[in-house]
Amino acid sequence: MTLQADFTSQDFLRNPIAEIERLRASGAVVEVSLPLIGSIWLTTTQELADQVLKDSETFTLRLEGGELAGVPWWMPRIMLLLVNNILTMDGPDHARLRQIADEGFRRALPAIEPRIATIAAALADELFADGSPADVVDRYARNVPLAVICELLGLPSTDRPQFMRRANKLTTYSGALGMLGLIPGLRAMRRYLERRMDAVHRDGGDGLLAEFVRAEQAGGGISRDEIVSMVFLLLFAGHESAMHLISGSVYELVRKPESRDWLQADWSRGRVAVEEFLRFVTPVQFTKPRFVRRDVELSGVQLRRGDRILAMLMAADMDPHANSQPEALDLQRRPNRHLAFGAGIHHCLGHQLARLQGRCALEALFKRWPKLELAIPESDVQWRKRFGLRAIDRLPVVAERR
pLDDT digits (tens, 9 = 90+) for 385-395: 988 999 999 99
Alpha carbon separation from 250 to 58, 77, 365 (Å, rounded) = 39, 37, 9
Provide the 10 A C-beta neighbour count for residue 172. 16
HSE-up of 108 (CA within 13 Å, CB side)? Answer: 27
Mean pLDDT of 174-189: 70
* Percent of the chain with pLDDT strictly greater than 90: 66
> Predicted confidence band at 134 (pLDDT cuts at 50, 70, 90)?
very high
- Report pTM: 0.91
Structural element, H or E, at residue 362 = helix 351-368
| DSSP category for residue 123 | H
Cα radius of gyration (the chain): 21
* Percent of the chain with pLDDT strictly greater than 70: 92
> Predicted confidence band at 36 (pLDDT cuts at 50, 70, 90)?
confident
> ∠ CA 74-75-77 to the nearest 5 degrees?
120
pLDDT digits (tens, 9 = 90+) for 42-91: 999 999 999 999 999 999 987 765 555 555 555 566 666 666 777 778 88
Alpha carbon separation from 176 to 4, 180, 182, 354 (Å, rounded) = 20, 6, 10, 27
Alpha carbon separation from 84 to 93, 94, 104, 231, 341 (Å, rounded) = 11, 11, 19, 12, 19
DSSP 188-255: HHHHHHHHHHHHHHHH---SHHHHHHHHHHTT-S--HHHHHHHHHHIIIIIIHHHHHHHHHHHHHHHH
Q: Regarding predicted confidence, which is higher, 134 or 77?
A: 134
Which CATH number does the domain 2-398 belong to among 1.10.274.10, 1.10.630.10, 3.40.30.120, 1.20.1290.10?
Answer: 1.10.630.10
Q: What pLDDT does residue 2 have? A: 87
Distance of CA 179 to the CA centre of its chain: 17
Helices (H), 58-180: 77-83, 91-125, 136, 143-153, 160-170, 175-180
Alpha carbon separation from 380 to 142, 220, 376 (Å, rounded) = 20, 51, 6
Domains of the chain, by residue range, sit at 2-398
Which residue, among 296, 256, 302, 295, has the nearest Cα to 276 in the 3D structure? 256
The span from the CA of 401 to the CA of 372, in Å, is: 9
Q: What pLDDT does residue 402 have? A: 45
Question: Is pLDDT above 60 for 173?
Answer: no
Average pLDDT, the chain: 89
The span from the CA of 340 to the CA of 338, in Å, is: 6
User: What is the length of the chain?
Assistant: 402
Q: Regarding predicted confidence, which is higher, 75 or 275?
A: 275
The span from the CA of 371 to the CA of 21, in Å, is: 35
Q: What's at 322, amino acid-wise?
A: A
Structural element, H or E, at residue 30 = strand 29-34
